[in-house]
Amino acid sequence: MEYKYTAYAEDESCELAENLESEKFPGMVICLNGELGSGKTAFTKAFAKSLGIKEDVTSPTFNIIKEYPDGELPLYHMDVYRLDGKVEELGLDEYFDGDGVTIVEWADMISNYLPKERLDIFIKVTGEDARVFVLKPYGKKYEDICEAII
């Protein structure tokens, strides 16, 4: 099943991230996909702010993984765009099964390495600030979250 959320302004996109954050749990994995400039990092920033992270969240394009330990739960922010599928040495399972929330940008590029249970979010640009978010939950826990926030 898929869930659709339409945001007509950036604050509405942030509201979706904040609502999702309110349902957080250790080991939560959120996979973001969308074209360049679709708002993957902006979504992550809003999630991080709602999580209580004070540090400036930036895209980890060249670092691959940035860790933000100072929120209600740790946040692990990944950008796997430049990996070319070479992820064996990153220890992804330690993040996915860890005590924090993992958000993966460009997750479709490592689809074979993603956990079975997760939330995929596809972001489509429909206007200057307008976005359509398609949420695809894998697992009952993520289905329940989508039901609660959409």
- Chain mean pLDDT for the chain: 93
pLDDT digits (tens, 9 = 90+) for 95-149: 999 999 999 999 998 998 999 999 999 999 999 999 999 999 999 999 999 999 9
Show Cβ contacts of residue 23 under 8 Å, excluding neighbours closer than 6 positions. Answer: 145, 148, 149
Q: DSSP letter for 15, please.
A: H
pLDDT digits (tens, 9 = 90+) for 51-73: 999 999 988 767 789 999 999 99
pLDDT digits (tens, 9 = 90+) for 12-55: 999 999 999 999 999 999 999 999 999 999 999 999 999 999 99
Give the span between the Cα atoms of 18 and 43, in whole angstroms. 9
Q: What percent of the chain stands above pLDDT 70? A: 96
Domains of the chain: 3-149 (3.40.50.300)
- 76, 77, 67: which is closest to 105 by C-alpha? 77
Give the span between the Cα atoms of 30 and 117, in whole angstroms. 10
